[in-house]
Structure 1
Amino acid sequence: MKTFADLIQEVQEPGLCHQCGGCVAFCTAINYGALELGADGRPRFSNIEKCIECGICYSICPVIHELDEDTKKLVFWSAPMGRIMGNAVARATSPKVRAQATDGGVVTALLLHLFDRGRIEAAIVSKTTGPFQRQPWLALSREDIVAAAGFHFDTLPSIKHLSDAYTTYSPSIVGLSDVAKKPLKRVAFVGTPCQINTLRRMEVLGVVPSDAIRFHFGLFCAGNFQFGPEQRQRLEQLGNFTWAEVNKVNLKEELLIHLNNQEIRAIPLNQLDFMKRHACQFCGDYAGEFADLSFGGIGAPEGWTTVIIRSPLGRAVLADARGVDIELYNYREDPALMPQAMAKVLEWSEKKKRSAAEYHQQLEKKAV
């Protein structure tokens, strides 16, 4: 049986670790306490003597293929980008939510809807704690959910107040350890494709605390980006702005830098490889293929969200919130919008799969 020591050798050393936090979340939730996240975001032994070598951390890693087929069967996955039962372009009905959230605020609106209806007791999200810094957050109230919405750059008077390295990524799955410590049985999870994948693998094995996760909301993901001093300086040059001018940042088909004067600087994502986390180059899931609902701004008009329905549960959630907390785009005004949005998502999904396959081939050649 392979263990965390094998993960270090097979996943971390080649630079394939997505830092999703699944291995640490499970080990902490089950109260073994053998693993922790290091300062660099990578999992490591906190106390090797506590490791019972159960092998579950190895099996649930999204990079390991041991449970691939079982996980696909669980969610009725099919090519080319997972199960698709429908799609929509939508936004939150609440102006406050739309102002706070990214794109159309649909994820936040659905979480609030589920919370108000008593369908969930909490939501695992990520919360902005500083410029380009996010941390896992167990939202236990409406206020918590709204506070975690959006991705804003806090305007600061000087760059010297910022840390040396930022990331757009948050290991939200680590929030599962908080779920295990509380009597929570109805929780929604919002995360990246690799995090949703890990949760589904836990579900396949029937291990805690995946049993508490009732709703899986996946975010479109072109990759996670690092914002260290060198990257920040290069971005300023590419976009012709200074960080003191920045109000909000969004990732769609481009990196969108929203300035305080309402101007937007758009930087193509293919110019941002110098910022992308190395492991993301090997991931082929752009559209959250293992979620109940997947979300992103790509393909949607400004202020709206593209939504992919992937399960009967996701379809029911969206239908119940429609006309209450969610409004759909008026397709009569643009009948081609929905198919165009899906075509755009598929285009980016195929692009990411091709790129990941090429990087894997390069890695295999190096290994030979």
Structure 2
Amino acid sequence: MSRLERASSRVNASVKNEKDLKKKDNLNQKQNSSGSLIQGKVEKGNGNEAFKKKFDLNALVHKESTPRRLKCFSDLLEEYQPEQLCRRCGGCVTYCKSMKYDAIEFDVNGYPSFSEKTRCIECGICYAICSANELLNEKIRGMVSWEEPSGRVMSAGIYKASDSELQKKDIKSGALTALLLHMMDAGFIDGVIVPCEHNKKKSPVIAYNSEDILNLSDRINNPTLGSMLYGFQPNLSDEHAVEKKSTTSSNGSKRLGFVGKPCQVLSLRKMEYLGLMPSEHFSIKIGVFCSEGSNSRGMNACQNCTDYYAEYADISVSDYSIRGEMLAMVSRTSLGNMAILSASQNALQHWNAVH
């Protein structure tokens, strides 16, 4: 090789190295810029510092794409709905509507879908609070002191209402209704919200007083999947009309009891962990057992679920009657245990309770 050829070769190698360095710098700048965009979307879309501090954004990021982006509702549709893995708990719709984004809604089959795709800000929160994934499950287990094999058990027993008239009126011995009536009379809650299907709408009903709870006892004992949005009040039939009242306590905060399915309780716990609306308005979370997973006709999502006993609730209640006149109740947190012990003094009769 001549001297000229050797010189030319060194120049070409130098130019190539310089180009490689520039490509690397540009790639680093893009990645840093993408990270800033991710943080910016969370700050603008949510405005909640707890979300940034408590949640590892890397778990929500598509690492293969350039630039990186948060997993959002489009990814929920792609990953969970084709195989019917979406549990239809309503967590994503509940949060989106509570923040007035109104980007998603329920379709005719009860699955979340885009109502207005351009309104989605791709904040990634709907993906984080989805009950079908396990992104935050370990955090939630730590928060509620979950224990093997099926959640923490502080007390357990079988109960029925002490009031004989309530036993006759209620389809399941009045135990859950009696517990809620006691909590309302004691000033522990100002209302009860129950997801249910009413007039083919996946909207919750809200009971604001003792009469409302009695009128809605059938729905309270049989919550369904759907929206958990506290602010919506559907029009009930005349005989079950619920007068809309304020649920604001003396200190200005709303105190609602929530009764729903295990997957709904899990989604609410994720909202609570991240400090998101509307979880702060639910004073106590009661989960009704779900036997859909053992039903061969159940959705794939239900058959793949492992939480049939509302393991993340404050109180778990059986969805079936024992000997036709009692319900099993399990307190899983100190809050739930206090509520059951207090109600046991006069509102509930119990057998074989373990304390």
TM-score by length of 1: 0.67
User: Which residue type is aligned with residue 273 of structure 1?
Assistant: S
> Is it true that 1:175 corresponds to 2:232 in the alignment?
no
Aligned-pair identity (%) = 34
1:143 corresponding residue in structure 2? 211
Q: Are residues 142 and 298 of structure 1, via their aligned partners in 2, closer, same or farther at CA, if it must alter by over 3 Å?
A: closer
Instruction: Indicate the larger mover: 90-99 or 137-146.
Output: 90-99
Question: What is the CA–CA distance in structure 1 between the aligned matches of 2:269 and 2:169, rounded to whole Å?
Answer: 30
Q: 1:207 to 1:88 in 2, by over 3 A?
A: same
Deviation at 1:316, TM superposition (A): 0.6
* 1:320 partner SS: helix
Q: Is the Cα contact below 8 Å between 1:60 and 1:201 reproduced in 2?
A: yes
Report the equivalent of 2:136.
Answer: 67
1:351 equivalent in structure 2 = none
Structure 1 equivalent of residue 96 of structure 2: 27
CA contact (8 A) 2:105 2:113 kept: yes
| Unaligned runs of at least 5 residues, structure 1 | 153-167, 225-269, 332-337, 340-368
Structure 1: how far apart are the matches of 2:303 and 2:225? 18
How far off is 1:149 after superposition?
1.2
For residues 286 and 151 of structure 1, the distance between their equivalents in structure 2, rounded to whole angstroms, comes to: 19
2:124 maps to what in 1? Answer: 55
Deviations 1:49-82 (Å, cap 9, x if unpaired)?
A: 1111111100000111111111111111111000
Is this contact kept in 2: 1:135–1:171, CA < 8 A?
Answer: no
Amino acid at match of 1:60: I
CA distances 1:226-253 after superposition (whole Å, capped 9, x unpaired): xxxxxxxxxxxxxxxxxxxxxxxxxxxx
Distance, in Å, in 1 between the alignment partners of 2:112 and 2:197 is 22
Unmatched 5+ residue regions in structure 2?
1-69, 234-245
Aligned-pair distance for 1:136? Answer: 2.1
In 1, the alpha carbon distance for the partners of 2:196 and 2:119 equals 31
Q: Give the one of 281, 284, 301 matched to 2:306.
A: 284
- With over 3 angstroms needed to count, the CA separation of the structure-2 counterparts of 1:52 and 1:297, relative to structure 1, is closer
CA RMSD of aligned residues (A): 2.6
Match of 1:85 in 2: 154
- The one-letter amino acid paired with 2:76 is L
What is the Cα deviation at residue 151 of structure 1?
A: 6.2
- Alignment-mate amino acid for residue 220 of structure 1: F
> Which of 273, 276, 281 is equivalent to 2:296?
273
Q: Is the 8 A contact 2:204 2:230 kept in 1?
A: no
Tell me the alpha carbon deviations over residues 301-330 of structure 1, each in whole angstroms, 9 at most, x when there is no partner.
Answer: 32001111101111110111113211112x
Number of the residue aligned with 1:6: 75
> 2:303 is matched by which residue type in structure 1?
Q
- 1:49 partner SS: helix
Counting only pairs closer than 5 Å after superposition, residues 204-223 of structure 1 correspond to structure 2 as: 204-223=273-292
- CA, structure 1 residues 299+96, in 2 after alignment: closer, same or farther (shift >3 Å)? closer
Question: Are 2:257 and 1:185 aligned?
Answer: no
Q: Does structure 2 retain, via aligned residues, the 8 Å contact 1:128–1:148?
A: no
The aligned counterpart of 1:316 is 338
Q: Among residues 202, 214, 233, which one is paired with 2:271 in the alignment?
A: 202
Which is greater in Rg? 2
